[in-house]
Every structure is written in C-alpha cells, then in structure tokens.
C-alpha cells in the first residue's frame, strides 16, 4: 500500500532525472568536442581563463553561443510543434506540412536574392512568410474534413512555397548561395554571441505566449461542437493558437533556417514520456525535449564528418521523421489521422 505512491513517484521522477542528466551530458559534449577536443575535466579551467586563449575562445565564443542557440531554437520548435498539433488535433500538423516553415524560408530567400532592404531582416520577412504560408493553408483547408485531407493540402502548399525558395536559389548569384542553402536546410554554423544577442531575446519574448495559448487549447480539446455549445469560438481559438505557432517558427527560421521536423518528434516524445497528461505538461516536455533534440543533432552535424559540417536541418529531418513515425505509429491518434 505504501509502495504505490512511491512507485508512481519514482516513475514520475525517472524521466526528469534522465532528461536532466542527458542535458548536462549533451551540453558538456557540445562544449568539449571539436578542434581541439577539450577534456571535460578541463572545462572549468578553460572557462576561468587559466588555459590558453585559443581554447577559451573556442569554448566561450564559439561553442557556448552555438549551444545556447541550439537549445533555444529547439525549445521554440518543440513548443510550436505541440501547439500546432494540439490545435489541429493532428499529430502531423507540423510547421513543415503547414506551409509555415517553407513560407518563412522562401520569404527570406526572396529578400536576399533581390536585395530588398527590409527593416528587421531576416526576422520580419521570416515572420511575414510564415504568416502567409500558414494563412494560405488555413484558408485552403477550412472546409476540408479529416486530418489526412488537411495534411495533403498543407503538404502541397509547402511544396509550392519550397518551389519559390528553390527558384530564389537558382536565380541567385553563386556568392549568395552559401547563405541561401541555410534556408533550404537549417544550420547553426557561424553562431557567435552577436547572433545570440539578436535572436534569443525574440525567442524569449515569444515563448511565454505559449502559456497564454493554453486556455485556447483547452477550448479546442472540447471539440468544435462542444465549444460552440458552451458559447466559446473554436475558430477564433484555433486562429489564436496558430498565430502563436507561426510567430514561434518564424523566430527560429529567420536566423537559423528551417531546422526541419523537430516540431514533429518533440511532441511525440513528450506524449510518450507523459502519456495521458494534460496539454500543459506536454508543452513543458515538448519544449525541453525539442531543445535537447536540436542540441544533439547539432552536435552530430558538427562532429559526424568532421571537419565537414552537415546542415543540422538535414539531420533533424532524417532523425525526426523516422523517429517520430516509429513512435507515433503505435499511438491511436496517429492511426486515426492516417485512416
């Protein structure tokens, strides 16, 4: 009798401990690996400036800001993925299939190729593109019934926006292509503290909005009919949540490009860690797991074929789609979405 709460308590605690440990391990690895490899034991010495200046610069000026940006970008994408999935009640409602990511990337690419001077670039065009892509999809699917129909229309719109992006790439001068490739596949290459200073505050501003979106999620969970019966507008709630989702995705795509499919896997992982929990709990887990996912993928991108850096967005696309499908295929809601 006494055991029962203890066991559930342990069960509740185990994932927290696991996540905390892997977070520490990942952070340490991200700071230590590269050239030169720094033994974890020497990290304090390097950080306090007792080691060589070069090592300090590597860790403090290169690896630390990159780690930070990876964490924040992943957290934002994880949160955005959960919001989109919950609001459309479809595990496949992800930024990549709603035209949000490709809209943002296409807008930034066009600004770069045609040399349009936009204040607040690349964030403002990314935001505008994400909003346009999302709005197009929402408009197009308004009368569509069934998650698969929504998904296919979204995929087609994403494909169209991707084509716009590719047109931009093929029109660009060879010297712009290095930058544009980032918008085909997200990348964290070249992150410094100045990148972090210009991007992370925006993410910090937007992340709390997810908490504001939670009540709207509650309304949507009731189902459209029940919500209407209670005098609540499901449509307005959905638009509000989607708007927050677009905002979140744009803050990442602007500086880093589309780090693809993180918003698909992170919520799935969150659901398997806390099955049967509230959306609120999933939101927290999805945020944390998204952060870890991007950090881990970036670590792989940096070290797998060292010294060649893979674009992190390509890795996340491979890992997250395969992993997400494997996880989700066992869940009833996913099967419903497919059938």
Q: Tell me: does residue 338 bind another protein (CB under 8 A).
A: yes
**Taking contact as CB under 8 A, which single stretch among the options 176-184, 220-228, 234-242, 243-251 is the one that binds another protein?**
176-184
CB 128, min distance to another protein, A = 17
Q: How many residues bind another protein (CB under 8 A)?
A: 90
Which residue in 171, 211, 229, 230 binds another protein (CB under 8 A)? 171
Of residues 275 through 304, those in contact with another protein by CB under 8 A are 300, 302, 304
Give the integer Cα–Cα distance in Å for 124 and 2: 57
Q: What is the dihedral of CA 36, 41, 45, 48, to 10 degrees?
A: 100
Nearer to another protein, 38 or 250 (CB): 38
What Cα–Cα distance (Å) separates residue 207 from each residue in 171, 203, 305, 325? 36, 6, 33, 26
* 57 forms part of the interface with another protein (CB under 8 A): yes
The binder of another protein chosen from 180, 203, 234, 266 (CB under 8 A): 180
Q: How far is the CB of 57 from another protein (least distance, A)?
A: 5
Find all residues with CB under 8 Å of 35, minimum gap 6, and list them.
306, 307
Measured between alpha carbons, how far is 75 from 286 in angstroms, rounded to an integer? 8
Footprint on residues 196-235 left by another protein (CB under 8 A): none
Rg (CA), the chain: 21
Q: Find the DSSP H helices in the chain.
A: 3-32, 43-47, 53-56, 64-87, 100-113, 123-141, 147-171, 174-184, 193-221, 224-229, 234-256, 262-273, 279-303, 312-328, 332-338
Task: Choose the stretch contacting another protein; rule: CB under 8 A; options: 39-47, 79-87, 139-147, 242-250.
Answer: 139-147
In the list 26, 30, 34, 123, the residue contacting another protein (rule: CB under 8 A) is 34
Residue 231 CB, shortest distance to another protein, in Å, is: 27
Which of 160, 209, 214, 239: binder of another protein (CB under 8 A)? 160
Determine phi and psi for 26, rounding to 5 degrees: -65, -45
Residue 157 touches another protein, criterion: CB under 8 A = yes
252 binds another protein (CB under 8 A): no
Instruction: Find the largest Cα–Cα distance for the chain.
Output: 72
Contact call for residue 267 and another protein (CB under 8 A) = no
Instruction: Enumerate residues 100-129 that contact another protein by CB under 8 A.
Output: 112
Query: Torsion over CA of 18, 21, 25 and 30, rounded to 10 degrees?
Result: 80
Task: Using the minimum distance from each CB to another protein, give the nearer residue, 248 or 297.
Answer: 297
């Amino acid at each position: 009798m006494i055991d029962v709460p203890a066991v559930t308590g342990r069960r509740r605690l185990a994932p927290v401990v696991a996540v905390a440990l892997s977070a520490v391990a990942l952070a340490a690895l991200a700071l230590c690996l590269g050239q030169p490899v720094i033994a974890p034991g020497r990290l304090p010495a390097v950080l306090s400036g007792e080691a060589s200046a070069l090592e300090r610069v590597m860790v403090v000026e290169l690896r630390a800001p990159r780690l930070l940006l990876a964490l924040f970008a992943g957290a934002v994408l994880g949160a955005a993925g959960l919001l989109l999935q919950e609001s459309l009640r479809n595990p496949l409602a992800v930024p990549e299939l709603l035209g949000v990511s490709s809209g943002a990337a296409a807008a930034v690419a066009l600004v770069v190729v045609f040399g349009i001077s936009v204040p607040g670039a690349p964030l403002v065009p990314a935001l505008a593109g994400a909003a346009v892509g999302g709005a197009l999809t929402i408009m197009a699917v308004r009368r569509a019934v069934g998650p698969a129909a929504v998904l296919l229309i979204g995929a087609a719109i994403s494909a169209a926006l991707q084509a716009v992006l590719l047109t931009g790439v093929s029109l660009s001068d060879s010297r712009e292509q290095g930058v544009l490739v980032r918008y085909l596949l997200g990348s964290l290459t070249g992150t410094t503290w100045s990148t972090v200073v210009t991007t992370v505050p925006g993410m910090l501003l937007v992340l709390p909005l997810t908490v504001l979106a939670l009540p709207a999620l509650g309304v949507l969970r009731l189902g459209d009919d029940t919500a209407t019966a209670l005098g609540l507008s499901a449509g307005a709630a959905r638009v509000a949540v989607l708007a927050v989702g677009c905002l979140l995705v744009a803050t990442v795509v602007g500086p880093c490009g589309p780090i693809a499919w993180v918003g698909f896997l992170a919520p799935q992982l969150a659901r398997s860690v806390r099955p049967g929990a509230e959306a609120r709990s999933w939101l927290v887990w999805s945020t944390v797991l998204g952060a870890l996912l991007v950090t881990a993928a970036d670590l792989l991108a940096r070290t797998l074929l060292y010294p060649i850096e893979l674009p992190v967005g390509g890795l996340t696309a491979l890992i997250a789609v395969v992993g997400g499908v494997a996880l989700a295929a066992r869940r009833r809601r996913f099967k419903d979405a497919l059938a």
